[in-house]
Amino acid sequence: MNTVRAIQKLNKRELEEGITPEGSWHTDYRDTAFVYVGGLPFELSEGDIIAVFSQFGEPVWIKLARDKETGKSRGFCWLKYEDQRSTDLAVDNLGGATLMGRVLRVDHTRYKPRDDEDMRDNTMGELDADDQGRRKRRKTESDSESDEDRPLFKEEVELEKLLRDVDDEDPMKGAMVHKKREEVETALKKYEKAKRKEKRHRPRRHHRDKSIERDGHRSRSRDRRHRDGSHERARHRDRSGERRYLKGRSHDGDRSRRERDRRRHDSSDDEGSRHKRSSRRDRSISGSRSPT
Q: List, for residues 77-130, the tens digit of each pLDDT value.
A: 999 999 999 999 999 999 999 999 999 999 999 999 888 888 898 888 765 555
127 domain residue, yes or no: no
289: left (phi over 0), alpha (psi -120 to 50) or beta: alpha
8 and 114 share one domain: yes
111 domain residue, yes or no: yes
Region 153-174: what's the mean pLDDT? Answer: 77
Cα dihedral 11, 16, 20, 22 sign? negative
184 domain residue, yes or no: yes
**pLDDT exceeds 90 at position 220:** no
Whether residue 25 contacts residue 88, with contact meaning beta carbons closer than 8 Å, is answered with: no
48 and 110 share one domain: yes
Q: Residue 232: which pLDDT band, with cuts at 50, 70 and 90?
A: low
Q: Residue 210: which pLDDT band, with cuts at 50, 70 and 90?
A: low
DSSP per-residue letters across 33-77:
-EEEEES--TT--HHHHHHHHGGGS-EEEEEEEE-TTT--EEEEE
Task: Say what the pTM is.
Answer: 0.45
60 domain residue, yes or no: yes
Residue where a domain stops, chosen among 134, 169, 198: 198
What pLDDT is attached to residue 193? Answer: 82
Q: Residue 265: which pLDDT band, with cuts at 50, 70 and 90?
A: low
97 and 193 share one domain: no
Whether residue 89 contacts residue 59, with contact meaning beta carbons closer than 8 Å, is answered with: no
- The percentage of residues in the chain with a pLDDT greater than 90, rounded to a whole number, is 28
Domain that holds residue 39: 3-122
Q: What is the mean pLDDT of the chain?
A: 76
115 and 174 share one domain: no
Q: Residue 267: which pLDDT band, with cuts at 50, 70 and 90?
A: low
d(CA 30, CA 108): 10
49 and 96 share one domain: yes
Of the candidates 83, 108, 91, 86, the residue with the CA atom closest to the CA atom of residue 28: 108
Give how far Cα 60 sits from Cα of 4, 86, 93, 172, 244, Å.
25, 12, 19, 20, 94
Q: Which amino acid is at 188?
A: L
The number of domains in the chain is: 2
13 and 104 share one domain: yes
What pLDDT is attached to residue 173? Answer: 74
36 and 117 share one domain: yes
116 and 187 share one domain: no
With H, G, I as helix, E, B as strand and everything else as coil, classify residue 32. coil
